[in-house]
Structure 1
Amino acid sequence: MSGLREQKKQKTRTAIMEAAFTLFGERGYENTSISALAKAAGIGKGTIYSYFSSKSEILLAFCEDELDCLHLELQRTIPADAPLEEKLLHVFMYEFRYVTKNKGFGRTLMRELIFPKELTTEKSRQIEEQFIQFFVLMFTEAQERGQLRRDIDLTLTCGHFYALYLMALSAWHSGRLPSEEDVRAALQVMFRQALSGLQPKKA
């Protein structure tokens, strides 16, 4: 019985998030009410509040799901001993596809993650910390394989590569990088340039 109840809860949560994905993308975040989300999800307004305390929390749930997907993607598709550049490209292109499959929704998601509202600041910080640790682990493994220097701050290194990704994402939104292939090529160049200055010094 508890299994059926859990399935129903998951189905309801999925319906809410699918409604948010559609409406945030079509109407914009500010112009979408909780009532509209409930109607689109086929549930009562009060039901949404039993899952999420606010619209911002719904957005952050997408960030949490994305992080889970990133872990799975890395485990399923990239060999553990793959070069760091390959792993970074794969992960960031996966994220790029995630936030651009609905342009309007992707903008809203990134804005809330990078510039969170006061009500969700703590939750945003928790997700940010999980995201950082995801990359710190990747960088630590690269250090152990001699692909990355050991005398660098790994948290700041995470910020460095994420900033390069945001630059490419912004260029895609503005049309300077019109295709996914262009984004990947730009990221590859920027990552390669960064990594060439981070590789261990040869004796």
Structure 2
Amino acid sequence: MTNNREQKKRRTFAAIADAAATCFDNNGYDATSIETIARTAGVSAGTVYNYFGTKNAILAAIVTGQVDEIMGEAGESLDLAAENPVDALMPLLGIYLDRMTGYGPELLKELFRAGFDPTQTDLLADFVFADERVLVQLSDSLREMKLHGLLSPDVDIGGAALLIYSIVAVGLMMFISVPGTTPRQVRAVCSAQLELAFDGLGSSSDPLKG
């Protein structure tokens, strides 16, 4: 019985988070009420409050759940048999981009806004933790690439991970700020920027070298 109750709780939690993501993207964060989320999820408003309490808590759960899924899906995606670092890394970054653009521009816009808003103290810890997990995965991937000869031995892993993270962020910003931008275009832009970045990482004047 306990297992059944726990499974039901997890399903309800996920249903509310998914419904909220849809509502935020369709209607905007500010225009979406707890009652609207409840109707979309097929539960009562009281249930939403019991599980989350606030819209910010739901937003944090969306971010955490998304990162959990990305970490699981992207774990084995690095192509170490590739002939160059861009081809090695793009399967991993493609998962990041596909997951994030899959939510739609309005929800992504709210995630960016909340992530850079210092007044959203109840969200910042969750957002920082999510960023750190992605950076750790990028750093681990770059170390693997270095071991397989896909990166110069003197590339600074931490600096390179931050650079690549920034490239992904810029691609997502383009998705939410330029009307009509498709996920495929975001991938193409990120791939081109990666190629430039890795060209720089291979040069003797690169500041990311240790």
Q: Say whether the 8 Å CA contact 2:78–2:92 is kept in structure 1.
A: no
How far 1:165 moved relative to its partner? 2.0
Quote the residue 2:25 is aligned against. Answer: 25
Alignment partner, residue 48 of structure 1: 48
Aligned to 1:128: 131
Unpaired runs of at least 5, structure 2: 205-210
What amino acid sits opposite 2:141 in the alignment? M
Deviation of 1:114 after TM superposition, in Å, equals: 4.4
Matched AA of 2:41: A
State yes or no: 1:103 paired with 2:100.
no
| Contact 2:115–2:127 (8 Å) recurs in 1 | yes
d(CA) in 1 for partners of 2:149, 2:180 = 33
Q: Does structure 2 conserve the Cα–Cα contact (< 8 Å) formed by 1:23 and 1:32? A: yes
Change (3 A) 1:59 1:86: farther
Question: What is the aligned counterpart of 1:193 among 191, 196, 203?
Answer: 196
**Deviation of residue 105 (structure 1)?**
1.7
Deviations 1:101-121 (Å, cap 9, x if unpaired)?
322122222333344612222
What is the CA-CA distance between 1:76 and the residue it aligns to? 5.2
Query: Measured at CA, do residues 10 and 80 of structure 1 come closer, stay the same or move farther in structure 2, by a change above 3 Å?
Result: farther
- Quote the offset at 1:152 in angstroms: 4.2
Higher mean C-alpha displacement, 150-159 vs 119-128? 150-159
Q: Any residues of structure 2 matched to 1:143-158 within 5 Å, and which?
A: 143-158=146-161
Q: 1:76 to 1:137 in 2, by over 3 A?
A: closer
Aligned CA-pair RMSD: 2.7
Q: Distance in 2 between matches of 1:59 and 1:37?
A: 12
Give the secondary-structure state (helix, strand or coil) at the position aligned to 1:197: helix
**1-structure distance, mates of 2:159, 2:112:** 20
Aligned residues: 201
Normalised to the residue count of structure 2, the TM-score between the two structures is 0.80
Assess if the C-alpha contact under 8 Å between 2:115 and 2:123 holds in 1.
no
